[in-house]
Structure 1
Amino acid sequence: MAKTSLYLMAASVCAAVSPALAADVPTRVGQCVATQISELASRLEGVPDSGSAVTYANGIYGVSYEMEDQVQRARVGDPVKLCLVSIPKKCPPGDDRGRKYRATDLRTHGSWTLPDAEHMCGGA
């Protein structure tokens, strides 16, 4: 079963248990959903200046090798408008990495665009 299918099944289970814990995931470029920040971290665990990482309540993850100023201003629990910006093409079957999402923090009004993995599909 594809990784995406497993994720969608897990999201459906979470939604059935608690609608507040799971939100829609954008699947088409240009589609946006409402979610919130569930975790803020550095790219590498235990290495504070290794880049920015953010996890949203709907399960989407964003990561950067850079310390993203707007991500640093965000707080866990902030409401976010999350839009799918791009989906890579010609990826190996089952390798869904490299989707890019644009987030706008509705508390700070700051925005950032991050991929969902450190490497594009087919990469390391």
Structure 2
Amino acid sequence: MKNIPYGRQEITKADEEAVLETLRSDFLTQGPKIAEFEKAFAEYVGSQYAVAVSNGTAALHLCAMALGVKPGDKVITTPITFAASANCIKYCGGEVAFADIDPETFLMDIAKVKELLESHPKGTFKGIVPV
């Protein structure tokens, strides 16, 4: 799978023209450019499928749905993150269990995740939204 850099972009004249072409077309959403983008992106990352969404929150919500999170399911994430990390679980009716961050890395503390997992019966948690 190829890496897509975050926070660095290269916008070409062709990119600008493609945006203007789309803005001037009959479709701003769900038009042929979306299907073209999904196909090209899937090919680029070596995936069979890709689904374009409007933002990261929508993407995480789709991930929770694909995981099969349903009312009552418990999922671990951290409280020190964007709200979408927990909201995607809540949107599916799931329950959020928070694991605090490591004060050195500011990432989810694996020791805290382990504590949660070991203090509950096996199979309690449907998954983890790592941040």
Return the TM-score normalized by structure 2.
Answer: 0.23
Structure with the higher fraction of residues in helix conformation: 2
Return the TM-score normalized by structure 1.
Answer: 0.24
Structure with the higher fraction of residues in strand conformation: 1
